[in-house]
Amino acid sequence: MTKLWLKTLAVVSAGLITALPVAAQDGVTPNPDISGNISVWTWPNNDRTFEALMPAFNEVYPNIQVEVQGFPTANDAYLNTLQRGMLSGSGPDVAMIEISMMALLRERPQWVDLSQPPFNAGDMLADFADFTVNNVTLEDGKIVALPKHTGPGGMFYRRDVFEEAGLPSDPDEVADLFRDWDTFIEEGQKLVVPNERWVIGNGEEIVRAMTAQAGISYFDEDGNLQFDHPIFREAFEKVKEAADAGMISPFAAWTPEWQGAFQRGQLATVMYGNWFGGLLKRAYATEQEGLWGVAPAPGIEGNRSFNSGGDYIGILETSDNKEAAWAYISWLVANDVSLQQQYQSDDLYPAYLPAGETDWINFEDPYYDGQNVNEIFATVQAEMTPFVLHPLDNVAANAMRTAVDNIARGVMTVDEALASATETVQARM
């Protein structure tokens, strides 16, 4: 069943794939004579990634110096710092935008219109995932940023833990077993060891996947909050079922305790975007090569695809060196060397579609016991329903997260949690 579900990827055989010339890849003919200093604002660990890319960038643009500064995202620190910089005119030349910030920031007049000469970004955006292009293009045609990476989602799982529990560990068999959310609850209970091992870290992962698979965002196209949509109740009820079955861990997401649970083998699955593999490999489960696999997430009426993340990068009008800034961002998001290094170092999934046909993203990954996980993620990126963006996405996400935690901890009923989340968001509308 899963073999049929996976699309056949248009992948050239590994022996024939070579890196394309820079100009052919990004639609920008590099001019090594461009010079100047530019500043870039981002968040961890993008700051480290950007610094590591500088030798490769300077091979193409030897006279451009880039100063990278990373600000934490916790408590909206990066978002608030960027907004202050934009309003005061003291911001950087180049700034990153996370997908949940996009609707809040993209209408600001401080962004350079990349659709205009000399940038003409519209010429290159035909090679990017459609939904990412829509996210950066305003109604009047202004392009405020370039898409950088997306977050096609899947279910990462511990092969050895599944085997220990008597469940199949082959990705195709796991996909067949966990085909929908009912079987996820039914079969997933076998993975639980009370007070020692859980199936999933937090209920938010369930809600995000289910609502995205149903094509329902926090807000609709007209800006109406959708917490009253039946899928939110269904997803919240599924969280309660999982919690009652002992499947959800007691650890809050992104805390040291939650991160350590992966290293200790206490979490059997996790459902996030492709990028989460980079955290497993390099931070949370560094000694577990060959123990992990990836399968499509449990689905709704056969739809198993969901997006989980994404980021963009733009130029501010206050930049004194827009030419160098454009050289940097266009190279970053579409150059083969740049995208390959970002994928191999951090599992960052390119919004640039030609990258999906390269051998460096389609390979037998030893961390996943030789599985080519792009067979999962390329299909998800092609099939998923794009998220409708709204300026209050962060507010809604935080309200949803609190509601889900209250359900999982038995603090609130589903009705009470939905009412509380709705009240929280409406107070900001």
Tens of pLDDT, residue by residue over 201-248, are 999 999 999 999 999 999 999 999 999 999 999 999 999 999 999 999
Over residues 296-306, the pLDDT tens digits come to 999 999 999 99
Per the CB < 8 A criterion, the answer to whether 94 and 148 are in contact is: no
How would you class 89 by CB atoms within 10 Å of its CB: exposed for 0-12, middle for 13-18, buried for 19 or more? Answer: exposed
Residue 27 — pLDDT band, cuts 50, 70, 90? Answer: low
Q: Is the pLDDT of residue 12 over 80?
A: no
Q: Is the pLDDT of residue 192 over 80?
A: yes
Q: Domain residues of the chain, as ranges?
A: 25-151+308-368, 156-306+386-426
Report the alpha-carbon distance of residue 271 to residue 336 in Å, rounded.
28
Report the alpha-carbon distance of residue 100 to residue 143 in Å, rounded.
18
Neighbours of 311 (CB within 10 A): 25
Report the alpha-carbon distance of residue 20 to residue 323 in Å, rounded.
24
Residue 28 — pLDDT band, cuts 50, 70, 90? Answer: confident
How would you class 289 by CB atoms within 10 Å of its CB: exposed for 0-12, middle for 13-18, buried for 19 or more? Answer: middle
Per the CB < 8 A criterion, the answer to whether 316 and 111 are in contact is: yes
- Same fold for the domain at 25-151+308-368 and the one at 156-306+386-426? yes
Q: Is the pLDDT of residue 20 over 70?
A: no
Q: Is the pLDDT of residue 24 over 90?
A: no
Report the alpha-carbon distance of residue 177 to residue 298 in Å, rounded.
9
Tell me what pLDDT residue 170 has: 98
3-24 in b/e form (b: 16+ CB < 10 A) is eebeeeeebeeeeeeeeeebee
Report the alpha-carbon distance of residue 274 to residue 378 in Å, rounded.
10
Average confidence (pLDDT) over 345-354: 96
Average confidence (pLDDT) over 322-334: 98
Average confidence (pLDDT) over 144-170: 98
What CATH architecture does domain 156-306+386-426 belong to? 3-Layer(aba) Sandwich (3.40)
Reduce the DSSP state of residue 155 to 3 states and report it.
strand
**CA 255, 258, 264, 270 torsion: positive or negative?**
negative
Q: For the chain, what is the mean pLDDT? A: 93
25-151+308-368 maps to CATH 3.30.43.10: no
Residue 74 — pLDDT band, cuts 50, 70, 90? Answer: confident
Tell me what pLDDT residue 29 has: 81
Report field, pTM of the whole predicted structure over 0.85: yes
